[in-house]
Amino acid sequence: MNKFSAGGFYKIGCLLGNLVQAFNFVGKPGGTFPELTPRFIVATVKTIGEECRKIDLIQSAKCAERFVDEITEDAIPAAEVRIKLDCLQKLIFSEIDSELFMWIPGHRADWYSKPASSIVGAECCTRFPSIEREVEEAAKCYSAGRYTAAGFHLTRATEAGVQALARAISFAPPHNQWTLVFDKIERERQMPPANRPAHWKKHGKFLTEISADLKLVARVWRNDIMHLVATYGEEEAKELFEVIPKFLRDLAKKMDEKGKLY
């Protein structure tokens, strides 16, 4: 999906319309156009071509460029210029008709280009760089009104937390299964304090809390969205953008994705 503003279409339409109206007003078949100087025509058609290229109307842009190349500083016969202008106008309309354009309302438009750091924080992006793409994809999906997809990418970002938690306790579960990580944490937690692994002595409280938080994420959101149970509307997606980023920010305060505990 390419990002563009409807202003580009409006500008092309205005430029084309103004040029056609000007020719209709001062032009005479077979005559020349003292008011419509070659410099003015070149500048207008060149701008039309540039705006076409911005919104990927490539053939129209090329047509405009050829148009510009064929205009000289001499007087221009009206009929010839009108034919070229008519061809350009028809090509633009034809090319636009072959595209599918979608509209994003203003209250979601800025989400399309939001960097991950503005959603989960710079520290989180530094300590968990692998989640940046997922968070930004979630923002794009939310902007486009694909709310379940936004939820999918957000909960997918929490996968980095589970993998980091496993590394922190020197555990390598097959297929990164969340349940096995939680079970391992619980078994270690239930050991007598003197028998627990070294990471529990300094980080036991954090390991207990983050494990509980990840279980909650799995139970409330991840499992359903991964197994075709849940679908989200805009309000549910907005809630996820409040809950999941907060969880990821809290996670990054105490851990990085390599499993290092702080």
pTM of the model: 0.73
Distance CA 137, CA 156 (A): 11
Greater pLDDT, 179 or 79? 179
Which one of 73, 97, 121 terminates a domain?
Answer: 97
How far CA 10 is from CA of 15, 56, 84, 94, 96, in Å, comes to 9, 15, 21, 16, 13
Give me the torsion for CA of 209, 214, 216, 220, rounded to 10°.
160
Nearest to 209 by CA among 173, 256, 255: 255
**Cα 3 vs. chain centroid, distance in angstroms?**
9
Say what percent of the chain tops pLDDT 70. Answer: 88
Whose tokens are 């990471």? That residue is 199
Question: Which of residues 80 and 149 earns the better pLDDT score?
Answer: 149
Q: Of 97, 116, 149, which residue is a domain's last? A: 97
Q: Which of 70, 97, 124 is the last residue of a domain?
A: 97
What pLDDT does residue 145 have? 95
Identify whether residues 131 and 28 lie together within a single domain: no
Question: Which structure tokens are listed for 44?
Answer: 């207008």
Give residue 16's pLDDT.
Answer: 86
**How many domains does one find in the chain?**
2
- The pLDDT of residue 26 is 59
Q: What is the pLDDT of residue 115?
A: 97
pLDDT reading at 71 higher than 80: no
Cα distance between residue 84 and residue 64, in whole Å: 9
Confidence of residue 227 (pLDDT cuts 50, 70, 90): low
> Would you call 219 helix, strand, or coil by DSSP?
helix
Q: How far, in Å, CA of 248 to CA of 238, rounded? A: 16
